[in-house]
Structure 1
């Protein structure tokens, strides 16, 4: 059923911070529920919280356990800026759709921040500006066009020329776009907090429990598990990350390997407003700070999924990332205290696939894709919970499998 991948290796920075324990039970007998969610990472946790809030009975299963997949490998730059710049995406899927995707992405960040505050989940949430630096893909002239495209879409952006960029941030680049309204958080603490909220509402969490087959009919779906018991549900949500389930159509995606480091805490050396910083280059560098002042920096992405080769490159890639970070901010101590690698999927447009699997109206899939996994997980929790409730989401078509 799922194709198994080793999703991450090394020591992600989040292991330095304790996430609350999420209790799970063993699945020892056949069970029935309104919705079965397969996967207890950040996507599954957001779905569980949204669906229990709507009053559904929910079961979550995971073959590893809560928070044990790629959630811990994310650098958690939770931003609305999609991997494809708005000006580029407009050429790929049309201006109206591209604008709508960007607007929905920004709304998702705002909704997620509001939800975390409403639920009082302690995940070190901080509202953070974002600085997009001119690079090899978009030079200063294209950056101006991108800022204008965002303004036309109603997504505020300020174009910075080299002088204010150097004065405010101490960065020497040909230009940059400054935007507001993104959030930084601890992804493990958030995932645990959402699952615990679902548990309070009587969700049942079983792990380790591995789905091996899904049989769906007009009225229900029956999921077989490796150890024998079956789960019968009105709806199934596949939140299995990049371990794609065979029933999901093979979207035009590719698997990318990425690497990241985190420094020791150095809060006094951080740049203003600890803005997220990333660049319009390929491969691009991306960085953020943690609440206690560590710098997380990642990049050096490569197009391959060979786990052994990916893992062997950790030392070399960490040194390269540290070197690039040192060139950007010479006064930082860039020595890695944590270094890790992970794999993620991406589509050409950088947009996720969310919704019912073609030919299987009771099976819904969340395929996050790209660098905005957490943002897309939020969008998925909105679109799929609306679909299960029987109401339509105006943007469902943008992200559907048959788009």
Structure 2
């Protein structure tokens, strides 16, 4: 059984843009496949694309339907910079492992961009620079040290003084790190394109179909459903976002509520280079521009308690984010046309949990994505595909569910 959550509330900006219709039908009979995927969001889409590209037969089920969970709530800043600064992560897990995690994150962003181009997915993916602003977590001197450690690890970043930041980007902050190779995109279009590519290779989508039982046996796994039919497979991947199956360890995973707004289109007011912007602060603000000049801004994260409390805070959080955005960018119209709340998973290290579920043979889980959900979803697809095709991923130990 899995915990059921209302994963978002309000109206996310991506509903204003068209995404491809993804065909899915109810499950009316027992089916078999090499791999069963539970979920039909961005993580499941990347997994289905990767596994079918490797020649495996895939079945996906979801209790809602394609793209109806957390995917629409993401702000889709696709960055290689992990939520935990490299200097901080080094103190938590060691220099070698921290640098490996950051390098793998950068590789994942590059691999995703190449895959989108290869498949010809029209998801408005565009490369953007990223600005990491000095704040209450990393003041200017600490931010300089962060930049030095990144550069020593081969992760190029340039420190901008307050004057340089003001002259180039028009932002009034004490300093920032500038990096390149990140992207902005439309997450629903990306997920839809990946699912359609998987369908073209034979993937079968069944929804609405709710998984109610997960069994391991000598020949693989069986997933039973509320309406009766079952799925038999050699292995299963739980890509259920933040609705975790009961047997998945949750000791190092927690759910956070986050809030976001989007303004009207105002392309002439967008800051130079439409850089992705986020703060070295807690709580931090993060923002980007859409292809048509809307400003998407999020933050005000807090521990998730229940949907009712999260939703009751939406109005107040919207006001706070709007005020912060106005102070940072006084030249834009900050009036929200969209405001929404969503959930995301996090871990103490900021790294996701990817791989075999301890004590549950044949089942793999992907969870704990923090602010790098799309980037980590790409890593998950690579790690799990290697495992299920008889290979080995050199970085799998960084993300294993039992790594603690």
Counterpart CA distance in 2 for 1:367 and 1:313 is 25
Q: Which residue of 1 aligns with 2:131?
A: 131
- Contact 1:368–1:377 (CA<8 Å) still a contact in 2? no
Q: Which residue of 2 aligns with 1:393?
A: 393
**TM-align CA RMSD:** 0.8
CA displacement at 1:401 relative to structure 2: 1.2
- 5+ unaligned residues in a row in structure 1: which ranges? none
Q: List, as ranges, runs of 4+ consecutive aligned residues in structure 1 with deviation greater than 3 Å.
A: none
- Output one character per residue of 1:322-347: Cα deviation in whole Å (capped at 9) or x when no partner: 11111111110000000000111111
CA displacement at 1:253 relative to structure 2: 2.1
CA displacement at 1:368 relative to structure 2: 3.7
- Contact 2:221–2:232 (CA<8 Å) still a contact in 1? yes
CA displacement at 1:319 relative to structure 2: 1.2
**TM-score, normalised by the number of residues in structure 1:** 0.99
Q: Which residue of 1 aligns with 2:188?
A: 188
Counterpart CA distance in 2 for 1:125 and 1:361 is 37
CA displacement at 1:246 relative to structure 2: 1.1
CA displacement at 1:218 relative to structure 2: 2.5
Give 3-state SS (helix, strand or coil) of 1:360's partner.
coil
CA displacement at 1:304 relative to structure 2: 2.6
- Contact 1:305–1:343 (CA<8 Å) still a contact in 2? no
**TM-score, normalised by the number of residues in structure 2:** 0.99
- Contact 2:383–2:393 (CA<8 Å) still a contact in 1? yes
- Contact 2:8–2:73 (CA<8 Å) still a contact in 1? yes
Give 3-state SS (helix, strand or coil) of 1:138's partner.
coil
Counterpart CA distance in 1 for 2:325 and 2:38 is 38
Counterpart CA distance in 1 for 2:349 and 2:322 is 29
Give 3-state SS (helix, strand or coil) of 1:144's partner.
helix
Q: Which residue of 1 aligns with 2:63?
A: 63
- Contact 1:82–1:371 (CA<8 Å) still a contact in 2? yes
- Contact 2:57–2:203 (CA<8 Å) still a contact in 1? yes
- Superposed, 1:274-289 pairs within 5 Å as 274-289=274-289
In the alignment, is residue 21 of structure 1 matched against residue 21 of structure 2? Answer: yes
- Superposed, 1:3-402 pairs within 5 Å as 3-402=3-402
For these two proteins, the number of residue pairs brought into alignment is 403
CA displacement at 1:217 relative to structure 2: 1.5
Give 3-state SS (helix, strand or coil) of 2:362's partner.
strand
- Output one character per residue of 1:111-156: Cα deviation in whole Å (capped at 9) or x when no partner: 0000000000000000011000000110000000000110111111
Say which is worse superposed, 54-63 or 314-323, in terms of deviation. Answer: 314-323
Counterpart CA distance in 1 for 2:130 and 2:117 is 21
Give 3-state SS (helix, strand or coil) of 2:336's partner.
coil
CA displacement at 1:358 relative to structure 2: 1.1
Counterpart CA distance in 1 for 2:351 and 2:104 is 12
Counterpart CA distance in 2 for 1:19 and 1:267 is 22
Counterpart CA distance in 2 for 1:215 and 1:252 is 24
Give 3-state SS (helix, strand or coil) of 2:271's partner.
coil
Counterpart CA distance in 2 for 1:364 and 1:43 is 13
Counterpart CA distance in 1 for 2:7 and 2:256 is 11
CA displacement at 1:383 relative to structure 2: 0.4
Give 3-state SS (helix, strand or coil) of 2:118's partner.
helix
Counterpart CA distance in 1 for 2:243 and 2:54 is 28
Say which is worse superposed, 250-259 or 126-135, in terms of deviation. Answer: 250-259
- 5+ unaligned residues in a row in structure 2: which ranges? none
